[in-house]
Structure 1
Amino acid sequence: MIDASDLIALVRTYNPKTDAALIGKAYAYGQRMHDGQFRHSGEPYFSHPVAVAAILTEMKLDDATIVTALLHDTIEDTRSTYSDVKFEFGVEIAELVDGVTKLTNLQLSSTESKQAENFRKLFMAMSKDLRVILVKLADRLHNMRTIRSMRPEKQAQKARETMDIFAPLAGRMGMQWMREELEDLAFRVLNPEARASIIRRFITLQRETGDVIQKITADIELELEKAGLQAEVIGRAKKPYSIWRKMQEKEQGFSRLSDIYGFRIIVGTEADCYAALGAIHQRWRAVPGRFKDYISQPKSNGYRSIHTTVSGRDGKRVEVQIRTREMHEVAETGVAAHWSYRDGVRSENRFAVDPARWISTLTERFEVAETNDEFLEHVKLEMYQDQVFCFTPKGEVVKLPRGATPLDFAYAIHTRIGDSCVGAKVDTIRVPLWTRLKNGQSVEILTAEGQRPQATWIDIVATGRAKAAIRRSLREEDRERFIKLGRELARVAFEHVGKKPTDKALGTAARHLGLEDTEELLARLGSAELTAREVVNTLYPELVAKKGDEIDAARAVVGLEPGQTFSRANCCQPLPGERIVGITYRGRGVMIHTIDCRALQEFEDQPKRWVDLHWHSGNHPAVHAVSLDLTIANDAGVLGRICTLIGEQRANISNLQFLDRKPDFYRLIVDVDLRDVEHLHSVMLALEADSDVASISRHRDLGRKP
């Protein structure tokens, strides 16, 4: 544990005018309050607040934040009170310490309703003073660095919470280094075998190729010197978790993953950034689709940099980031750059974002959420996704989360544009509305009078704003129809357990589900935002649990017209539990597809044939055939054991087709009759766990007729 003088020395490296007496007083106060307390590792507890303060000095933060770090556990874990801290250190520091204490008590990984409430409190604390979150992030970082001394189950809980909440939050605030370290520390707990495997492969790669980073750094420095540019070049291998995530996203092995090295070029001016980019592209071939200019289009947290990926030495792909020193400071500390000090004064970094404006921009759309589910959905969409930048035909920039579609683009411009959207052109080419947009694309929205949002749009859009607007429009437009349909669904569901859906019963259920009144409950039932099973289960959970009768396969889908029949499309083989949509055929009834089925593309211009459907809630019989693509070892008894495994999961094999026979393996398609998507997952999990199964995936044959 560093002593008070060493901590003050760390602060003085960037703030010579620091109030050393204040920091020394806080150090002594915290040490006295935590006297006799120890961590799980056996160290004095006060070593933790000191380490948190030291982490914050790396971000060059002000005295008040450093003092808060030293005192952040005093109100919660010692006899000290808010009044005591206020008397000793003033209102500002007392408020900060109290804010961190309240955050520590929030259970962000609890049930959804409680989690939504606690997230609201989190953002409220952020809006009051963002330094509270900075201390909390540093606190979590040190706890993750020392997590080995905790019980295994506690390690797993903290690691999952870190991966799901704190690491993305650090990234959204622009502190990418902290996000990467938090992710990697959590990865070490959650999947130690995968992390160790990646590290071993790295060691093998270095043994075979030598110090690639040093060689490529020298190559870049030589090219910049030729161009007459003064620059600092920093090279690094990406973190194990970052590499593992790329392997999962690209479905590639380590040996095929090329861009595992990253390099930063720090230059003097903005003009030098583009000159350096020219020198890099002139020397090495740029990889198409991997260029991003965050200087001309900065991120909302102030991040500015040019990103490009090139084929460098020996054909290895390397990512290069180019920025000025000021941009680099913001890239390292993100929103925290607002409080950074240099030479004893608040750093005037023109790229640093005003925290109040940043948090206002971040949370402006959260208030439109009407339920806890919607609020959490907005949080995850707005907080935890990278952005893409697209252009209107007039050249105006629209910022969207990664994975956004033309519908999101339309709603980002105006709700009226989104509601009346009938199509879109991306870079002048007509595309389906579910197309995922990429950086730099130009998007033109096609509209028509009388067009209204469709229920299937909910599954197409990615932004909270678009989802909220679509839901609101659907509720307003079809409210009466939904109420009528909801009443019928409630009648059937209640009769199934021998009860009647009286107004009193429905009103009680609405109140328990947090809805305004009976009509709101029925409207949500009819619009498939709420299932009849959920309503009945709210009032009669024991009766629902006792009713195990299987649903008639001929009545498995809800939303058909009286007398209308349905069949499952062969191309995507939808299962109960998956989002579905129907396409009407004259004389053939309705063909149901999964919402992401590519075969739907040919019906994009025929909206009248689309039918909004969902699966009946309850127990479905195992009659829904799904094709599995299996690669298994060619050894005696393997195929028999695979068939036995499937049978043990209470699934029936209806067909088996060999695609490839090799001396060491077979590849085959197995048709299995299943109940629902959960049944599918259990079958695939059992097969994947078998040592003789090399690979398994769900087979989707887009060449087969629907």
Structure 2
Amino acid sequence: MNTSPDSTTTSETAVSPSLPALPLPAQESERSRFQAADLCVLLETYLPGDEIREVYRAYLFGAEMHQGQQRHSGEPYICHPLAVTRILADLHMDYKCLMAALLHDVIEDTDIGKHHLAQLFDEEIAELVDGVSKLTQIDFRTRAEAQAANFRKMMLAMTRDIRVILIKLADRLHNMRTLGVMPPEKRRRISRETLEIYAPIANRLGINHIRLQLEELGFSHYWPWRWLVLDQAMQRIHRKHQEVMGQVEIAIRRRLQQEEINGEVISRELHLYSIYNKMSQHGKTFTDLAEICAVRIVVHSIDACYRVLGQVHNLYKPVPGRFKDYIAIPKSNGYQSLHTVLIGPQGISIEVQIRSIEMHRIADAGIVSHWLYKSNNTNHHNIHTLAKDWLQNLIDFQNQTPDSQDFLDDVKIDLFPDEVYVFTPKGEILVLPKGATIVDFAYAIHSDVGNTCVGGRIDRHLAPLRTPLHSGQTVEIITAPSGTPNAAWLNFVVTGKARANIRTYLKNLQQYEAEALGRRLVAAELATLKLSLDQLDSELVAAYVVQSGLATLAQVFVEVGLGNRVALLVARGLINQTLTPVTTTTPAATTAPPLTHLAITGTEGVVVNFARCCRPIPGDPIVGLFHPGTGIVVHRAKCHNLGDYQTQHGRWCEVEWAAVPEIEFATDVRIEVGDRRGVLAVIAAAIAGQGANIEDVRIHSQDGTTSTLDFRLNVRDRGHLARIMRRLRQIPSVVRIARLSR
């Protein structure tokens, strides 16, 4: 029998012949009759008869409640809950989860309430249905506010019962499969929400086959033309390399047979959304991507995985630096596999995954493996432990973040797929999102460690708190009883836990506490100048307060206590050492008009200079260094010249870009080109076409076939520079282009 949800051929009975005849809902549609019959046939493979009858009872009730309602496609509404339930039945979910799936829109779309549903069925099913129901009784000012509140409600229900989110994922998957009937604007909105929230949740829970479908469907509806172009390009690549990949499969199978290793070798297609992300995140074109072809090898044991790795590396040369061992160090969702990249025949790069049968099952099903594969396997328990840890984080977010929009933002951040693996001084491994900093690491250890963090060491060397971490590093946190979170940390932390804790601290900080803290910090800086607050000239203090734009000196202290102003700069401003109006010395524009507003915030009352060694531009992560008599010198956060100042904590200033200044900034770009007549003119015209000025250019000939051109360009920000570099890469003579940092 065809058991697909869209099957059009089945018996006339609504349920399996092995069950007693059950009543049909009034005016039941042919389509829902077929779907219900197919569902019952599937349920017979793993549920007892009495539980199937309960599922069917829920179907009858749902069909009656949704009688007369239709979807946008014109089909009876009950077809949607049936399709959602079929998705969950394929995962072998328990019968109460299936009943809740059949009833999941009853509270939201009919007059039946949660209490009534609990009386008809039971409290557990009513709680599941309520967990996926939207808040329809509350009027929200905006769609975003409603989305955030409904998401918060659903996630809170999920922390009590993981089946809530499984029902919601199945619901979203079927909606995405039938999204074509919606207007374009609504398709894009739903697709964006799917890509930003639901696909990452499926990934976080390890449910790979649902994640991939959500991503592909979301991508195809949100960017239909991009999806079509990539799909056509991938089809051409597969036709071109089909024969070569066949040879690779045969070669690997033969090698496994020679080594007496039982395993399955499968060529697989890389998913379009994954390819698109690589292109957009790394600024590459489709032709720049090395790994288009992929092979998966599934064997019977962990030992065989490592043996196979050695054999494929012996068979084809591996690409250095592309090996990842997710067996020894699993991903945060429990995923385990060996990843490597090989140079195959004709120089084709081939991505290879090697895993055991159990790893393959878990990679596909994740937390659902508990229901799909009934066993006491240790890996299944590990997956549930990881899921519980994540749910505990969500509970912490709930408690610390009263605002629903902030909570949604925190969860989105926490769903980042890329990870880094770093060590504590005791050798324990912490998994953090890509881009995580020392502060994120501190909060990952414990909230109190993050709140009292004042510094950190990476591989025994002092480093700024905003330093991004990389896999393999050992991180040590320096704490102090007087340490407190800084508002500027919100500009660089990436984990939801860190953001939630910092915001909670700042929001709970009372006005008098902030003033007292700011007063102590300013007094400490004055003490280094052998002065005290009592010795300050009242006229200078009054002048500084007026210049700061605040009403009283107490408010200045509050700003310092909240982290909005730098104590060092306030102290020097109070004694008139840097009371001159703020200026910015920029190497970009000797003809730039006088500034009327700040390019950098957090530096009020101080001369600001931009370092010539790294030439920061708006959009760059930046760090300020205070130089007596010079003011603040702003560097890019990764500037090589910052190393000498890592031990001089008092000279560091947390600074950030304000609104984009109405001036241009100089930056240096190196372009390697093939020697041909007129190439300099072509490049200059391309730069001018992007609205940028060339301040200087230097030409260095190399081997007679290539030349290096060093340009100093005046640009508005990083986005402007990126557009220029993309345009230059389109010139055939350009071999390589990079931004310089001397």
Amino acid at match of 2:291: D
CA pair 414-619 structure 1, distance change in 2 beyond 3 A: closer
CA distances 1:577-633 after superposition (whole Å, capped 9, x unpaired): 766432233543321234454543443233333233345x67844355566889999
- Residue 164 (str. 1) matches residue 196 (str. 2): yes
Pairs within 5 Å for 1:297-696: 297-340=329-372, 346-352=374-380, 353-354=383-384, 357-363=388-394, 365-366=396-397, 369=400, 372=403, 375-376=407-408, 378-406=410-438, 408-413=440-445, 422=455, 424-426=457-459, 436-439=468-471, 441-443=472-474, 445=476, 447=478, 459=491, 461-466=493-498, 480=516, 482=518, 523-524=561-562, 526-527=564-565, 552-553=595-596, 556-560=599-603, 564-575=606-617, 580-614=622-656, 620-622=661-663, 624-625=665-666, 643=688, 646=691, 653=693, 655=695, 657=697, 669=711, 671-672=713-714, 674=716, 677=717, 681=719
Describe the shift of the 1:316–1:110 C-alpha distance in structure 2 as closer, same or farther (beyond 3 A).
Answer: farther
State the Cα deviation string for residues 284-314 of structure 1 (Å, max 9, x = none): 3333333333333334433333333333444
**Aligned AA (2:457):** A
After TM superposition, the score normalised by the length of structure 1 is 0.76
Aligned length: 647
Aligned equivalents of 1:9 and 1:69: distance in 2? 17
Unmatched segments (≥5 aa) in structure 1: 507-517, 529-549, 647-651
Structure 1 residue 660: deviation in Å? 10
- CA deviations 1:645-676 (Å, max 9, x no partner) are 73xxxxx847364869999x9989474464xx
Q: CA deviation at 1:519?
A: 9.1
Aligned residue for 1:206, secondary structure, equals helix
The aligned runs of 1:258-273 (5 Å cut-off) are 258-273=290-305
1:162-205 alpha-carbon deviations (Å, 9 max, x no partner): 11111111100111222222112111122222222222222222
Q: Distance in 2 between matches of 1:520 and 1:118?
A: 36
8 Å contact kept, 1:362–1:382: no
Deviations 1:108-158 (A, max 9, x none): 996777665544323211112111111111111111122111101101101
Shift of 1:240: 0.7
Amino acid at match of 1:124: L
Change (3 A) 1:304 1:642: closer
Pair 1:316–1:354, CA change in 2 (3 A): same
CA 1:112–1:22 in structure 2 vs 1: closer, same or farther (change >3 Å)? closer
CA distance in 1, matches of 2:708, 2:147: 47
Change (3 A) 1:188 1:628: farther
Change in CA separation of 1:75 and 1:581 when aligned onto 2, cut-off 3 Å:
same
Q: Summarize the Cα distance change of 1:316–1:625 in structure 2 as closer, same or farther, 3 Å threshold.
A: closer
CA distance, structure 1, for counterparts of residue 490 and residue 422 of structure 2: 21
| Alpha-carbon distance between aligned partners in 2 of 1:286 and 1:301, rounded to the nearest angstrom | 27
2:315 maps to 1:283: yes
1:235 to 246, 267, 270: 267
Residue in structure 1 matched with residue 185 of structure 2 by the alignment: 153
Corresponding residue of 2:584 = none
1:385-440 deviation digits (Å, cap 9, x = unpaired): 343333345432223223334554455446777656655344x788776654444x
Match of 1:26 among 30, 44, 58: 58
Partner SS state of residue 102, structure 1: coil
User: 2:453, 2:105 → 1: CA distance?
Assistant: 53
How far 1:357 sits from its partner (Å)?
2.7
Q: What are the within-5 Å matches in structure 2 for residues 87-98 of structure 1?
A: 87-98=119-130
Percent identity over paired residues = 34
Structure 1 CA distance for aligned equivalents of residues 289 and 634 of structure 2: 38
For the structure 1 residues 395 and 206, does the alpha-carbon distance in structure 2 shift closer, same or farther, using more than 3 Å as the test? same
Residue type of the alignment partner of 1:583: L
Determine the structure 2 residue equivalent to 1:512: none
Deviation, 1:30, is: 2.6
* Equivalent residue for 1:134, pick from 155, 166, 182: 166
**1:265 maps to amino acid:** I
**Alpha-carbon shift at residue 460 of structure 1 (Å):** 5.2
Q: Give the 3-state SS of the residue equivalent to 1:210 in structure 2.
A: helix
In structure 1, the residue matched to 2:218 is 186
Output the CA distance in 2 between the equivalents of 1:86 and 1:367. Answer: 26
**Does the CA-based 8 Å contact 2:715-2:721 persist in structure 1?**
no
For residue 225 of structure 1, the aligned residue among 244, 247, 257 is 257
Return the letter of the residue paired with 1:51: A
Aligned-residue Cα RMSD (Å) equals: 4.8
Contact 1:459/1:595, CA 8 A, preserved across alignment:
no
User: Structure 1 residues 236, 560: closer, same or farther in 2, change over 3 A?
Assistant: closer
Separation in 2, partners of 1:332, 1:682 = 41
Cα distance in 1 for residues equivalent to 2:560 and 2:409: 23
The 1:435–1:68 alpha-carbon spacing in structure 2 relative to 1, beyond 3 Å, is: same
Match of 1:102 in 2: 134
Query: What's 2:740 paired with?
Result: 701
Find out whether 1:196 has 2:228 as its counterpart: yes
1:430-486 per-residue CA deviation (whole Å, 9 max, x = no partner) reads 8776654444x251537597996795665554434455677889979975364799x
* Equivalent-residue separation in structure 2 for 1:109 and 1:597 (angstroms): 45
Taking the aligned partners of 2:630 and 2:84, their CA distance within structure 1 comes to: 67
Task: Assess if the C-alpha contact under 8 Å between 1:421 and 1:445 holds in 2.
Answer: no
The answer to whether the 8 A contact 1:494-1:501 is kept is no
Does the aligned pair in 2 maintain the 1:645–1:687 contact within 8 Å?
A: no
CA distance 1:251–1:638, shift in 2 (3 Å): closer
| Kept in 1: contact 2:690–2:723 (CA 8 A) | no
Evaluate the alpha carbon distance shift between residue 266 and residue 459 of structure 1 in structure 2; reply closer, same or farther with a 3 A threshold: same
Say if 1:263 and 1:321, in contact at 8 Å, map to a contact too: yes
Structure 2 partner of 1:56:
88
Query: Taking structure 1 as reference, are residues 402 and 255 closer, same or farther at Cα in structure 2, changes over 3 Å only?
Result: same
Task: Pick the aligned partner of 1:5 from 37, 43, 46.
Answer: 37
Bigger shift: residues 576-585 or 394-403: 576-585
User: Is the partner of 2:134 in helix, strand or coil?
Assistant: helix
Partner of 1:515: none
Instruction: Please tell me whether the aligned partners of residues 49 and 70 of structure 1 are also in contact (alpha carbons under 8 angstroms).
Output: yes
CA distance in 1, matches of 2:351, 2:682: 48
Are the equivalent residues in 2 in contact too, given 1:393–1:442 (CA < 8 A)?
A: no
Provide structure 2 residue ranges, at least 5 long, that are not aligned to the other structure: 1-5, 8-33, 523-541, 567-592
One-letter amino acid of the counterpart of residue 474, structure 2: V
Deviations 1:348-387 (A, max 9, x none): 4432233773444442542574574764554233333343
Deviation (angstroms), 1:235: 2.9
Q: In 1, distance between residues paired with 2:518 and 2:634?
A: 21
Match of 2:117 in 1: 85
Max Rg structure:
2
The 3 A distance-change label for structure 1 pair 170 and 415 is: closer
TM-superposed deviation, 1:681: 4.4
For the residues of structure 2 that align with 1:413 and 1:577, how far apart are their CA atoms?
30
User: What is aligned with 1:546?
Assistant: none
Distance 2:248 2:49 in 1: 41
Residues 369 and 378, structure 1, Cα contact 8 Å, conserved in 2: no
Q: Secondary structure at the match of 2:188?
A: helix
Q: 1:436 to 1:361 in 2, by over 3 A?
A: same
* Amino acid aligned to 1:591: V
Matched-pair contact (CA < 8 Å) for 2:565–2:603: no
